[in-house]
Each structure stands twice: as structure tokens, then as C-alpha cells.
């Protein structure tokens, strides 16, 4: 499954009053694993940056003046996110801004119902707790020391780590790295060799005698070709 973790920065907080997208950052996940592929763009909003927003992200009107406008990056952006599920923190904010930009360029809007909102995931998992991106980093021990200012790409990279923790972590106890295999003394075998491999200590059966007798009576009623006759390696007569 392909997912895109996405974040934006904007000129302000009022998309209905003219505020625009000025930065987009995306990172790709494949089956919840970062692939190293990303998309990043600064955008000339042709609209002044609000002083409050500037204090958050540090992107000035002067810095953005020579950047491409949204219509010049929209095709490349949509190509990157195509056929992927979007993962966004406080999704309604970013989706509203992006859809306002899409309305200006004539592109299909993003359906909010198709987006994974990590803020909603965090609120369900940690009700009553602080669930900002910084708070979640602190909760899960994720390094966000470089986040002195908000930045769309950096925040997407951090959010990708948070998202993986929110949905269950990095498969605790199932480390498939080459280094782990090198340190392991376990030999993985398949086929006939694996079938002959014996456990160091046989597992004790949890079946009671009554349960075993009931099962045998049931199997006998299935006929002489019943799969259960050999499924557990039991030898039974076909009479």
C-alpha cells in the first residue's frame, strides 16, 4: 500500500479570506515503510504572508518572491501523490487550503474522507492528552530537535515516524534487518527440512479427552476422504 505523508505551510490561517499555500512537503511510505522518495516545493503565493504565520515558519515575502506559483507546480505535485492515500496531521486545514488552490487551477479537489488524519488517530488513542506534533514526538521518543521552525518537508518526515507509532509501531519483535539476521543464531528453513525440524520441547496439548473424542466422532461422520484424517498428522482407520 502506497501512502503519502503530507504537510503544508501557508500565508495565514484563513483560506476563505485569501490566504495561500506557500510550501508543500511529502514523503512516501510503502506498506508503512519510508522509501526515501519525497516531494518538496516552495510557492509564490502572490499574497502577503501574515506576521503571525511568518513567526511560525519563517518564510518571508522576499524569500517567496522568486518561487514558482501554484499552477506551475501542480502537475508535478499531483503526479507524486497520485494513487496514494494521504496522511496528514489536522487534515482539514491542509485539505481546505489545497482544495482552494485546486479550485483556482481547475483540478479535482481532495476528498477529506479519503485522508488519514493523524490528529484524529492520536485523539482516539490518547484521549484527553496533548496531541500536537511536538507532543506526540515527546510521547514516542521521536527526535524533533531540528524543528525550531515549522517546515513542510521536515514536518512530513517527523509525522511519518509519528504515524507509524500511532498505528502500532515498527512491528515490535519482528526486526527484519540484515544486522539482526547476522546476529541471530536461528536458522530459517523451508520445505522438507523445515518439516523434519523438531521443537526443543514438544508443546503440550490443550485438548481434553472429551474434546478429542467429540472431534473424532465429527471426523468419522465426514467420510473416508475427510481432510481432517491427515491434517494433524493423526493416523486413523477409514472403516
All structural domains of the chain with their residue ranges: 2-166
Range list of β-strands (E), the chain: 2-10, 21-30, 33-42, 85-88, 116-117
For the chain, the helix, strand and coil percentages under 3-state DSSP, each to the nearest 5: 45, 15, 40
Backbone φ and ψ of 87, nearest 5°: -125, 115
Which distant-in-sequence residues (6+ apart) come within 8 Å of 99 by Cβ? Answer: 109, 110
The answer to whether 32 and 167 are in contact (CB under 8 A) is: yes
Cell of 68: 514558482
191's enclosing H/E stretch is helix 191-196
The residues with which 42 forms a beta bridge, in sequence order, are 23
**Beta strands per DSSP E along 79-156:** 85-88, 116-117
Between CA 212 and CA 210 the distance in angstroms is 5
pLDDT of amino acid 86: 98
SS3 127: coil
The torsion angle over the Cα atoms of residues 75, 77, 81 and 83, rounded to 10 degrees, is 0
Q: What architecture is the 2-166 domain classified under in CATH? A: 2-Layer Sandwich (3.30)
Question: Residue 150 has what pLDDT?
Answer: 83
The pLDDT of residue 13 is 95
Q: What is the mean pLDDT of each run of 10 residues along the chain (239 residues)?
A: 96 96 97 95 97 94 97 98 97 98 97 96 94 92 79 93 88 40 35 42 62 76 68 47
CA max distance for the chain: 90
Residues annotated as catalytic are 150
* 36 neighbors 72 (Cβ within 8 angstroms): no
pLDDT for res 67: 97
Amino acid at each position: 500500500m502506497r501512502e503519502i505523508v503530507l504537510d503544508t505551510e501557508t500565508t495565514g490561517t484563513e483560506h476563505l479570506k485569501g490566504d495561500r499555500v506557500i510550501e508543500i512537503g511529502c514523503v512516501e511510505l510503502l506498506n508503512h515503510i519510508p522509501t526515501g522518495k519525497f516531494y518538496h516545493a516552495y510557492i509564490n503565493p502572490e499574497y502577503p504572508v501574515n506576521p503571525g504565520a511568518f513567526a511560525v515558519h519563517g518564510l518571508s515575502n522576499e524569500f517567496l518572491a522568486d518561487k514558482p506559483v501554484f499552477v506551475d507546480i501542480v502537475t508535478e505535485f499531483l503526479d507524486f501523490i497520485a494513487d496514494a492515500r494521504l496522511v496528514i496531521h489536522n487534515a482539514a486545514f491542509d485539505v481546505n487550503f489545497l482544495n482552494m488552490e485546486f479550485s483556482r487551477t481547475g483540478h479535482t479537489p481532495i476528498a477529506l474522507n479519503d485522508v488519514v488524519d493523524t490528529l484524529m488517530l492520536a485523539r482516539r488513542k490518547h484521549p484527553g492528552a496533548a496531541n500536537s506534533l511536538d507532543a506526540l514526538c515527546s510521547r514516542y521518543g521521536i527526535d524533533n530537535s531540528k524543528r525550531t521552525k515549522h517546515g513542510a518537508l521536515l514536518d512530513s518526515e517527523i509525522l511519518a515516524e509519528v504515524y507509524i507509532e500511532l498505528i502500532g509501531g515498527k512491528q515490535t519483535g519482528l526486526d527484519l534487518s540484515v544486522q539482526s539476521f547476522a546476529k541471530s543464531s536461528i536458522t530459517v528453513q523451508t520445505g522438507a527440512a523445515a518439516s523434519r525440524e523438531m521443537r526443543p520441547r514438544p508443546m503440550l496439548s490443550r485438548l481434553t479427552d472429551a474434546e478429542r473424542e467429540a472431534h473424532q466422532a465429527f471426523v468419522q461422520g465426514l467420510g473416508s476422504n475427510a481432510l481432517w484424517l491427515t491434517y494433524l498428522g493423526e493416523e486413523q482407520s477409514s472403516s
